Amino acid sequence: MEAITSFIASHKRTILGIALFCLAPYAFYVGRVSDWSTASTIITLFETYAFYWMPIATYLFLFFAFFVKRKSQWHHYFITTAWLFLVGSLVNLLNAWHLSSAKFPTILRNVFVQISGNWPVGVFMTISLVAVTLLGFHSASKVINDFLRIIAKFINHAKQPIVLLLGLLSAVATASVVYWQINQTQHLRNQVRNMGYKGGSYTVWIYGVLLLVIYTALTLVGITFFFNTLSNWWGEFVRTGRQLRDFRLQNYLYRTLAGYLYTVIYLASVAFAAVAVPLVTMFAFEISRANYSHGVHLLHWLWIPGGIAVGAVATALVLVTLRLLFESAVALVHVAQNTAKLR
């Protein structure tokens, strides 16, 4: 066990890169052209079935985990959340195939090998699942330690009103997720019964309980992350509040707010590119393949590296332009501050 843990720790970035690379086709391949006709059809599928958007959420968390520093406290939370989302998407997908009355070998083939007879993106997902699971166990232990430490702090400071309020809000959030999932499972049980589902209702509840555990774990990870980073966020909030109370306007608030604004826009731009580039690339690949009547030509596969290369260059240009705009604005503030000191 120690040898495995040591191997994962020393090759974490490599394993993370493999997981990210193998997950991309599964997350962004939505099937043959005949499976979707308009953008609204795809949006409806994403809104209706969690196993469409959960792999994309997994991909995003893995993407940021790959680029964030390993020593950062964000790293373990990103990996743990990605692992839970990927497992949750598989439970949802297995449940959907189970409710379709498909046989067990058919379910395994369509989930872990291929999807509805399309090219075997399930194989890539399975490889990614193994890699993310290896990383998930290692990172989850760190998150659990943070969770236990925060619980101990809450117990030691339970008499403080703010601690009681935060604890109550955390309990309400967790209870709300539990209630929502139980209600969803009950609704699904009634729905499939009316559709003539021949399996026992207990099978619906088995998948429902699995999802309940996953969604509750996701909620607790989010709450733990919030409290683990609360001191940093609160310190920034206090410093900003002090600057707002500078009624003589001796300090410029713009530099502080510009840093926050730049961070938000930067992360939003990177997240958008991380999703849009592989999604458009897989669309282009599938459309070019569908328009060719003699199967898959070797040139069709060039869409994948070509689309990623073009998207990476375009994203880099956008980020450079964004940086220059913010630097120009902050430089003007520097000039104003230096001018004020000379007076």
Q: How far is CA 277 from the centre of its chain?
A: 16
Rounded CA-CA distance 68/140 in Å is 17
Q: What is the pLDDT of residue 17?
A: 87
Rounded CA-CA distance 29/23 in Å is 10
| Gyration radius from the chain CA atoms | 24
Give 287's contacts (C-beta < 8 A, 6+ positions apart): 33
pLDDT tens-digit series, residues 24-41: 888 887 666 655 656 666
Phi, psi dihedrals of residue 269, rounded to the nearest 5°: -65, -45
Query: Which H or E element spans position 58?
Result: helix 50-67
- Domain edges within the chain: 1-164, 247-343
| pLDDT > 90 in the chain, percent | 21
Rounded CA-CA distance 343/341 in Å is 6
Q: Band of the pLDDT at 121, cuts 50, 70, 90? A: confident
| pLDDT > 70 in the chain, percent | 78
pLDDT tens-digit series, residues 168-212: 899 999 999 999 999 988 888 887 777 766 666 778 888 999 999
Contact 128, 86 (CB under 8 A): yes
- Region 46-50: what's the mean pLDDT? 77
Rounded CA-CA distance 11/32 in Å is 36
